[in-house]
Amino acid sequence: MTCRRNAPRFLAATLATSLAALAPAFASDAIVDAQGDTVVVAPGHASLQKWLLPETAPSPADNVTTPERVALGKKLFFDPRLSGTGRSSCATCHLPERGWSDGYPKSIRFMGEVMTRASPTLVNTGYNTIQQWDGRSPTLEHQAANGMSATGSMNGGSEKPVTGVANIGRIKGYVDAFERAYPGEPLNVATLAKAISAFERSIVSRNSPFDRWVRGDATALTAEQVRGFRVFIDPAGGNCSVCHAPPNFTDNGFHNLGLMSFGEDNPDVGRFKQRPVALLKGAFKTPTLRDVALSAPYFHDGSARNLREVVDHYVTGGQVRSNLSPNMRPLALGPEDRAALVAFMEALTTPTEVFVYPVLPP
């Protein structure tokens, strides 16, 4: 009788205990993120799938990615004969072993002159909808053609791309490869740029521990990295995903981060030169964060030596606040949250095999 009389109470107590155990879990695992979506921080959860990238980067109708085009572009990417001087190539500033950047705070051009900005990574650039730190190229093809002409990038100048094209056009291996990749199309700056773009679209990172965790592998991230992800997407935490948005960790947008360099005389105004709108003075494109651990130093001016310094900068809310992005504000993040953010960003690296450099046609 006693047992029977107490059974409802026991059940109620058990239910209450269970609910109490569950309630905090639900409450703490769900976050309304910077995009306004309710996200449940659990491996494989449906609300996280927006962070996954398509298997291949999209390509334009007149330059659909094919293996022949990628192979040709890979050779051209590493070939200095494409440059006006014959002494620099795309790989001068975009090295596969340096996260497709170059490891310098600001790139070093031919003859040792320092350029004005850091070399942006090429990882996942094919998924981006606008190219270069200031967005002056709407497409990869436009950027590649520009790069061949730019004095800084390929040390060419107005006449030099012609030299590069002529150089390539005299090499039988390239002429044959072009015919296979772009049958019936002339070998010129436009098709050279197409081939290089096809190769760049193949530089993809989408199988990092984070990606595997999003797909459902609960062991792919450490507890600290999961904590870092929470901080990353929480508007009241790091608020990082307001700009480093899904799926490619970029909003393809432009922001003034309040870096010290913006306070210097005649600072680099970035996007403002392309679009003279007040907010864009000193604004630069949000880079992807996939493989970010491989491409130090950071920011367009290379002013952060490591990811810890990047996080510390954001915690301050920016040092030069005369034209800050509206997304910037000081962050109340303690040492553990800061460390967790760095740990999370380190979980965005896709393990890669040793990169095999191409054999260039003689």
Site residues, other proteins (CB under 8 A): 34-36, 129-130, 135, 235, 242, 251-255, 271, 275-280, 283, 325-327
| Token duo for residue 56 | 């291949």
Give the CA count within 13 Å in the CB-facing half-sphere of 5: 2
Task: Report the nearest approach of other proteins to the CB of residue 148 (Å).
Answer: 24
CA distances from 281 to 129, 132, 205, 255, 267 (A): 21, 16, 31, 9, 9
Q: Which is nearer to other proteins, 235 or 317 (CB)?
A: 235
Task: Report the nearest approach of other proteins to the CB of residue 129 (Å).
Answer: 5
Q: Which is nearer to other proteins, 53 or 220 (CB)?
A: 53
Long-range CB pairs of 238-244, under 8 A, 24+ apart, other chains included: 238/311, 238/314, 238/331, 238/333, 238/337, 238/341, 239/34, 239/327, 239/329, 239/331, 240/314, 240/341, 241/33, 241/34, 241/35, 242/34, 242/327, 243/286, 243/325, 243/327, 244/286, 244/288, 244/289
Q: Which is nearer to other proteins, 66 or 327 (CB)?
A: 327
Return d(Cα 14, Cα 135) in angstroms, integer: 59
Task: Report the nearest approach of other proteins to the CB of residue 135 (Å).
Answer: 6
Task: Report the nearest approach of other proteins to the CB of residue 276 (Å).
Answer: 7
Task: Report the nearest approach of other proteins to the CB of residue 60 (Å).
Answer: 16
Task: Report the nearest approach of other proteins to the CB of residue 211 (Å).
Answer: 23
Q: Which is nearer to other proteins, 75 or 271 (CB)?
A: 271
| Token duo for residue 305 | 């030596």
Q: Which is nearer to other proteins, 2 or 38 (CB)?
A: 38
- Specify whether the CB–CB gap between 132 and 143 falls below 8 A: yes
Q: Which is nearer to other proteins, 39 or 72 (CB)?
A: 39
Q: Which is nearer to other proteins, 207 or 252 (CB)?
A: 252
Return the SS3 of 2.
helix
Return the SS3 of 177.
helix
- Specify whether the CB–CB gap between 347 and 225 falls below 8 A: yes
Task: Report the nearest approach of other proteins to the CB of residue 86 (Å).
Answer: 36
